[in-house]
Amino acid sequence: MTARPETAQSPFDYLIEPGGRLSGRLRVPGDKSISHRCVMLGALARGQTRVSGLLEGEDVLATLAAFRAMGVEAAGPRDGSLLIRGAGLHGLRPPPAALDMGNSGTAMRLMAGILSGQAFDSVLTGDESLSNRPMGRVAEPLAAMGARIETAAGGKPPLRIHGGQRLCGIDYRLPVPSAQVKSALLLAGLYAGGVTCVREPAPTRDHTERMLRGFGYPVQTEGSIISLRGGGALTACAIDVPADISSAAFFLVGAAMTPGSDLVLEHVGVNPTRIGVLNILRAMGAAIEVVNERMIGGEPVADLRVTGSRLHGIDVPQDQVPLAIDEFPALFIAAASAEGRTRLAGAGELRVKESDRISVMAKGLMRLGVDTHETPDGIIIQGGKLGFSRERMEVDSGGDHRVAMAFAMAALRAGGPIRVRDCRNVATSFPGFAALASRAGLAIRAIGPD
């Protein structure tokens, strides 16, 4: 089997040998959510924004390419450093072609909010996976603000956004928790007359609000209500992007479920709206220490030390679901290795991610011999059976980067090798994952498909 580089340009699989443990100190790539927002707000600000620690994954690079197509000048990125010469809120130029958001639902939804306030027409497209994700949830409230957005059948991409519309602030209650929809409305609110108010049914990640304030734009938060008044301006600043807790989650799970592991993850963002994975793993019995806590650019950051422990199944608390929505593929692996049953409910959002993560993970776990049952909005996993087979096992990632990395960690507790199919999209959020995981102690390599 031929070794392959980890890039999104050519297909490859992961082959992981069983056993081992995770140890040492490492820093995972920069936070993807924050990196997207750095590029967006830096492009809309007055002056030069300096970014360090930027995630140079395919998704973020697609966002940067979109703003370059609209006339924004940027130097880099190189080794996580990027200098953006902002065009101001009203300085973007019409792009010469459709803006390709690649695999990123975050980029498409947030860009829809920004582009709704422009004077020119634009089109947002994406790859095959993104083209099947629902965009009506953002197009409809933006239309209520006065935007004109056309979608394909079923509210899916591409999005055709008609410029020159007069936007007005609205008071909108999110039907389901969604940081992406909230952020799109707040970004459109920068261009709207009056106040834009978003009411959340449950807390979601608040990076947009924090970063807007960092760029000097006043945002009010009162309990579950977030609001801003249009007509202001963004002022450039310096941003140090923390390591992504969603990327750290795979290593947290791998170390927590593996006896003898002792791993420190450095400079991880521990925003209170993102630490559901820590709370859930601790509820399962994981030994995780949060040390060296500090504030970097308005975001809380810490080092996380995790050691191997005996995990047990739980009923995932409902209030933690929105705080860990991107980390559940990794948490499903923790549940499979734990003693007893784990039950998740209220997570229907997982069915409309880069894949149907409930279905794809359930099928993969069953191929690994784990007793798994899907529910409409969750999953039931009977743990303790992962690793019985000595034969090589194969699972399909469904082209989903988080599913691929989650199943790679499953090999730490498996009895035989695991081959994870279709891993090219790992580069969208975690370039160099296999190399970093190998350094920590996972026996993983990227190989060409059969």
Query: Which residue of the set 31, 59, 244, 326 is catalytic?
Result: 326
pLDDT digits (tens, 9 = 90+) for 154-183: 999 999 999 999 999 999 999 999 999 999
Kindly report the pTM of this predicted structure: 0.89
pLDDT at 31 over 90: yes
Confidence at residue 9, expressed as pLDDT on a 0 to 100 scale: 57
Q: Which phi and psi (to 5°) does residue 217 adopt?
A: -100, 125
Q: Which CATH superfamily is domain 13-30+242-447 in?
A: Enolpyruvate transferase domain (3.65.10.10)
Residues 239 and 225: their CA atoms lie apart, in Å, by 26
Question: At how many degrees (to 10) do helices 58-69 and 32-44 cross?
Answer: 10
pLDDT at 8 over 60: no
User: Regarding beta strands 48-52 and 238-240, do their DSSP bridges make them parallel or antiparallel, or are they unpaired?
Assistant: parallel
DSSP string, 7-34: -TTS--EEEE-S----EEEE-PPBPHHH
Domain residue ranges of the chain, discontinuous segments joined by +: 13-30+242-447, 32-240
User: Regarding beta strands 371-375 and 378-382, do their DSSP bridges make them parallel or antiparallel, or are they unpaired?
Assistant: antiparallel
Residues 204 and 443: their CA atoms lie apart, in Å, by 35
Residues 281 and 308: their CA atoms lie apart, in Å, by 12
pLDDT digits (tens, 9 = 90+) for 306-342: 999 999 999 999 999 999 999 999 999 999 999 999 9
**What confidence category does residue 384 fall into, taking pLDDT thresholds of 50, 70 and 90?**
confident
**What confidence category does residue 392 fall into, taking pLDDT thresholds of 50, 70 and 90?**
confident
End-to-end, the C-alpha distance of the chain in Å comes to 8
CATH top-level class of 32-240: alpha beta
Across 115-261, the runs of DSSP E, i.e. the strands, are 122-125, 148-152, 156-162, 171-173, 195-199, 220-222, 225-229, 238-240
The verdict on whether 326 is a catalytic residue reads yes
Q: Which secondary structure element, helix H or strand E, spans residue 140, and what is its range? A: helix 136-144
pLDDT at 389 over 70: no
Using a pLDDT cut of 70, give the percent of the chain over it. 97
Confidence at residue 385, expressed as pLDDT on a 0 to 100 scale: 76
pLDDT at 11 over 90: no
Domains 13-30+242-447 and 32-240 share a fold: yes
pLDDT at 94 over 80: yes
2 vs 72, more confident: 72
Residues 49 and 440: their CA atoms lie apart, in Å, by 34
pLDDT digits (tens, 9 = 90+) for 405-418: 999 999 999 989 99
**What confidence category does residue 111 fall into, taking pLDDT thresholds of 50, 70 and 90?**
very high
